[in-house]
A and B are shown apart, each in its own frame.
Chain A
Amino acid sequence: MLVSSRLRRRRKASAAYLGIGLFLAAALTGSVPLAATAAAAPAPAAQVRASYDATAKFAAVRTMLQRHKVLEKAQVFMSPLRLPRELTIRTAECGAPSLPFDAAKGVITICYEAIAGIQDLAKGATSDADDLAALVTGGVMEEALHCMADAILQVFDVPMWGRPEDAADLLAAFLMLKFDERTTTVAVIGAARLFGYATSAVGKVDYVSEVSPPAQRFYNFLCIAYGGERLGFQGLVDKGFLPNARARKCASEYNTIRKAFDLRLMPHVDPDLVVKIRAIDWRNYDADKAP
């Protein structure tokens, strides 16, 4: 589920919260090149097909995603998985902010509407080009990883304790920590800031939905990040973005998701390929030049 999919009314984030977001960003991140030069990496897995579906309405969004080779990177990221069937990951005009994983056809869909929503939210939050890039990068990575996590949990028929949308969030946050440190920081902070801006923009909280409100997702996301990378994200606690009362439990929360991953997903993962994936410098990764 995308950062902005639950926005019933899109408003500009409050000025006060924008200040906090910028402060958080300045404390923990910097600018973000999404793609650049070549680096050695495994070839994209044949078992995951990629498709940027045509769209007139969101042509600019499609072009941006293609330029940054978002789906090619997703293919590479998923390549260590020994999938029981072929999957397709596509970007598409959905007519809605999100589409669920199509288990029958094995199709993961990232909606152009979601990416456009992320861009709108980010533009409402900052006018600084680098900061905007960081926000969009974090939002797009969260959206893509959330969709991929949701599919992975279903493809491997994982027993589901807790709410599935939270599970996809937590697994996405867990997976974000597997990138290089710089990419992880940009992704986590960018995604979290967008959850914050979405909270400000949404206004009324929806307690009925199976999807947690963005404020909860903000803290859940940061908690997994802090629990898994305390050194890198200590600033979240020091600056008060993650309250101490929650922060104390984050190592345990991270270990819960790690244990679940080890028990149910790791048996489907090629460990040698994981090493190669983890060794990628994602900031400078060029999927076209992958071996």
Chain B
Amino acid sequence: MSTRRTLALLWIAAGLLALGGDGPAAAQSTQQPDRVVIVAEDNDGGYRATRSKSYATVRDRVIKARMLERLRDFLSPVRLPRSIGVRAEECAGGGDASPFYNSADRTITICYQFITLAETMTDKVMAAVTKDPKRYPFPITRDEFLWGLIGGVLLHESGHALFDVLDVPVFGREEDAADQISILVALHLRPQLAEAAVKAYAYFWRMVPDPDSGMAKDGKLNEDFADEHGTGSQRLFNGLCIGYGHAPAVFGKFVAAGWLPENRAKGCAREYERLASAFARTVLPFIDAKKMAEVQGVDWLAASYGPAQPVTAVVRNTPPPTTPARSDAAPGAQGPAGRGTGQ
């Protein structure tokens, strides 16, 4: 074989190998086939340098919190048929940029801007809870809200990623479905975390105003309704309904306080069962039960803005049910991961 031909074959082989590594793991990163991969560039650990100085300190906090590592670890129980990437960056779109999943490169991007937004929102909620406890009657700590909000949004984007990579059939609006899976997963974490996540979700959406009317002043339809996401109240009611449907004893206080209207609440057990069934049939088969139990046992709040806890805190020996169970008991009466360990 001539040298030229050998080089050509090597070139082809190298090209094929490169193709094999295409996707979110293509850049410098720790290769974890079929798992969640931190997409690094230039040894940035997945945390892209910022363009504006104002987000440099945010980046430092995100790195200190090991946010990408946490997200990767949180999703580790999913036996992904294709890898998913995660990275953090100062996103295009200015100060309103939110985390997103891009199916083209199968990557979840955490925007530094969103962390700033979450911190600002946390200050606002904490002030409101302190100032008007009658209107905001559900005690919540700063860490619970902040991490509940950040975690909820990342779970939402992870939901989009799972729908894509696992080929989950979504007949309803995908944005609603992503909210559903984020709440469902959160409900099956440690009881304290589950409740905190739902409270954070509720406080956030309670503070987002709805459009006043279906019609705009110019006689056209109100384009606020053109958004593929639900309105603040719709997302509030949808999320609380799932929580209440799963654990009425825990989340009945939202009904009592009027945050979840009675006429919606009466159908929430059915809504939860429908959702749990969809999860059991389309996502659960991809879940490693042992790893899931480990993740469910981690206190993800314990090390806010500090090193993440190792993901080996609790190992449950009980096999998961085929469907995430509905709980009528208070979280405190449950085991470390609640009754529904099916995720």
- Chain A bound to chain B: yes
The verdict on A161 contacting B226 (CB below 8 Å), with A17-B220, A205-B211, A207-B231 known, is: no
The verdict on A220 contacting B173 (CB below 8 Å), with A17-B215, A208-B261 known, is: yes
How many whole Å from B219's CB to the nearest CB in chain A? 2
User: How many residues on the A side are at the interface (Cβ–Cβ under 8 A)?
Assistant: 51
A167, B172: Cβ atoms closer than 8 Å? yes
Contacts of A161 in B (CB 8 A): 163, 168-172, 174, 176-177, 180-181, 275, 278, 282
Indicate if B124 sits at the interface (CB-CB under 8 A).
no
Indicate if B42 sits at the interface (CB-CB under 8 A).
no
User: How many residues on the B side are at the interface (Cβ–Cβ under 8 A)?
Assistant: 46
In the docked arrangement, what's the CA distance between A256 and B163, Å? 9
Q: Dominant SS at the A interface? A: helix
**Chain A CB within 10 A, most for which of B177, B180, B220, B221:** B221
Stretch at the interface among A56-64, A134-142, A242-250: A242-250
A218, B231: Cβ atoms closer than 8 Å? no
How many whole Å from A15's CB to the nearest CB in chain B? 8
A215, B278: Cβ atoms closer than 8 Å? no
In the docked arrangement, what's the CA distance between A213 and B168, Å? 26
List residues 222-268 of chain A with CB under 8 A from any CB of chain B: 223, 242-243, 245-246, 249, 252-253, 256-257, 259-260, 263-264
In the docked arrangement, what's the CA distance between A203 and B215, Å? 8
A159, B282: Cβ atoms closer than 8 Å? yes
List residues 218-269 of chain B with CB under 8 A from any CB of chain A: 218-223, 225-228, 230-231, 233-234, 237-238, 261, 263-264, 267
B169, A260: Cβ atoms closer than 8 Å? yes
Q: What sequence of 0s and 1s flags, for each residue 188-210 of chain A, a beta carbon within 8 Å of any chain B beta carbon?
A: 00000000100110111101111
In the docked arrangement, what's the CA distance between A253 and B170, Å? 10
List residues 163-220 of chain A with CB under 8 A from any CB of chain B: 163-164, 166-167, 170-171, 196, 199-200, 202-205, 207-210, 212-216, 218-220
In the docked arrangement, what's the CA distance between A20 and B170, Å? 32
Contacts of B318 in A (CB 8 A): none
Q: What sequence of 0s and 1s flags, for each residue 278-290 of chain B, a beta carbon within 8 Å of any chain A beta carbon?
A: 1001100000000
In the docked arrangement, what's the CA distance between A164 and B172, Å? 6
How many whole Å from A70's CB to the nearest CB in chain B? 24
In the docked arrangement, what's the CA distance between A290 and B326, Å? 51
**Chain B CB within 10 A, most for which of A166, A170, A203, A207:** A207
Indicate if B332 sits at the interface (CB-CB under 8 A).
no
A199, B267: Cβ atoms closer than 8 Å? no
Q: Contact partner of B220 among A20, A204, A209, A220, CB < 8 A?
A: A20
Contacts of B33 in A (CB 8 A): none
Indicate if A160 sits at the interface (CB-CB under 8 A).
yes
Indicate if B274 sits at the interface (CB-CB under 8 A).
yes
A196, B221: Cβ atoms closer than 8 Å? yes
List residues 27-47 of chain A with CB under 8 A from any CB of chain B: none
A203, B213: Cβ atoms closer than 8 Å? yes
The verdict on A159 contacting B221 (CB below 8 Å), with A153-B171, A214-B214 known, is: no
In the docked arrangement, what's the CA distance between A196 and B221, Å? 7
The verdict on A259 contacting B169 (CB below 8 Å), with A208-B261, A215-B222, A215-B225 known, is: yes
A166, B261: Cβ atoms closer than 8 Å? no
The verdict on A14 contacting B215 (CB below 8 Å), with A243-B226, A245-B226 known, is: yes
Indicate if A96 sits at the interface (CB-CB under 8 A).
no
A205, B173: Cβ atoms closer than 8 Å? no
Between A and B, 20 residue pairs with Cβ closer than 8 Å are A16-B218, A16-B219, A17-B219, A159-B281, A160-B277, A161-B181, A162-B176, A162-B177, A162-B180, A166-B172, A166-B176, A205-B211, A208-B233, A208-B237, A213-B214, A214-B214, A215-B214, A218-B225, A243-B226, A260-B170
Nearest first, the 9 closest Cβ-Cβ pairs linking A and B are A162-B172, A16-B219, A260-B169, A199-B214, A167-B171, A161-B177, A207-B233, A215-B225, A159-B278
